[in-house]
Amino acid sequence: MAMQYDFVSSDTHLEVLPERWTGRVDTKYRDDMPRTVPHPNGGDALYIEGAPLFQVAFLDLRAGRTNEDWRPFDVKVEDTAGVGSAEQRLQEQDQDGCAAEVLFPNMQAGPGFWRNIRDNGAYLAAIRAFNDWLAEEYCAVDPRRLLGLGVMPMSTLQDSLAELEHCAKLGFKGIVLSAFPNGKAYPLLEDDQFWKAAMDMNMRLTVHVAFDRNGDRADQPTFIYPDENPEIMSKVKRGVVDEMSRLGLRSATSFSQMIASGVFDRLPDMKIFFAETRLGWIPFWMNEADFWFERHRHWSQRYLGFQPPKRKPSEYMKEHFLFSVQGPELVAIELRDHVGVDHIMFATDFPHIECEWPNTKPSLEALTASLPPEEKYKIVAGNVIDYFDMDPDILQGTPSQAGNSVA
């Protein structure tokens, strides 16, 4: 029976315990893999040898719970919405009127936590095993509706290029980066090899919120200036990139780094999707970034060897970046023209705390009530379909046999 779906979600999360995929890892690395253990305070936790326990409470598995019933602690993962089989996920989509989802891992309990694996060979084996499992076992159940993202390692450019090529062979349409392709918290010119390769493979680029600056990357600089003068930097504390980003949220640093690196001048067709950044603040920040860029670019050129991009930061934002928008973000919709309607994609964040599953439709209708029909379609489905090269007819689909229809 055909079904008219309401939306496609550009940002959801695949919450699975590591035992679902670590069996694919070579036996010599098994002891290094993350595993599930009881947390002393109740609920589930994840453990990697040598790393602190990661309490699963932080996964925010709220889906299907009311505000009155939900609590952010003592969370048990199994039997929770969003953590089951691919077949269960399709049923959950049907219940919510969702045609398809872009599936990010849980970034904190997944790629970020896995970087605590001390042996780099074991760490890379974990990344490979997860990507293989995601493509071959999970998304393969219905690749039209389950659009998984291949996880890129935080190690070296060569490792990133190797995993990118492997993800292309697995059939992924997109990948998610936690760090710059070189593995650091700052961009390097060598990253262009990765960006070019991804574009040649027609692989869509994504970042969830921002590039990771935890662990070994916490003390790394924001930007490497060609002729950085330590004496000058000791006096000013911040270069132009930090000045551009300081009046924005965490994602502003990642935006500023990419723009200042000049990558969009060298690769004018490159686009990248930053999920769950929040959107309403970005028009304000774009205005501030333009102002502070102009204030600080000239001395940064003279004393740091900074090579400024050819245009204002706001111009790159409007042309090269895409963003998600969620139910509560009415201000973002009001300010949509400042970033461009073609660059905004609706997201539920299922099964995390912000989702309204299985009742997304009322909040979606409230979010988009003021929009002309063509703009509403772009935001709730069209833009994500275009960016990820999805089936253009995905909203007219056939529900899972065990799914529940949505009126």
What the chain holds in terms of domains, given with CATH numbers, is: 3-30+84-394 (3.20.20.140)
The pLDDT value recorded for residue 149 is 99
pLDDT given at position 215: 86
Helices (H), 307-395: 313-320, 330-334, 360-368, 373-377, 383-387
Q: Which stretches of the chain drop beneath a pLDDT of 50?
A: 58, 402-407
With contact defined as beta carbons under 8 Å apart, do 170 and 135 qualify?
Answer: yes
Task: List, for residues 27-85, the tens digit of each pLDDT value.
Answer: 999 999 999 998 887 778 899 988 888 876 545 778 888 888 877 777 777 668 898 99
Gap between the Cα atoms of 136 and 10, Å rounded: 21
Identify which of 231, 203, 216 has the alpha carbon closest to the alpha carbon of residue 147: 203
Please tell me what DSSP assigns to residue 110.
Answer: I
Asked whether the beta carbons of 168 and 200 are under 8 A apart, the reply is no
pLDDT of residue 265: 99
CA distance linking residue 357 with residue 127, whole number of Å: 29
Give how far Cα 153 sits from Cα of 24, 157, 172, Å. Answer: 17, 9, 16
Is-above-0.85 flag for pTM?
Answer: yes
Tell me how far apart the alpha carbons of residues 156 and 161 are, in angstroms, rounded to a whole number.
9
Give the per-residue pLDDT at 398: 66
Q: Given this model, what pLDDT does residue 60 score?
A: 72
Are the beta carbons of 139 and 206 closer than 8 angstroms?
no
Residues 203-247 have pLDDT tens digits of 999 999 999 998 889 999 999 999 988 888 889 888 999 999 999
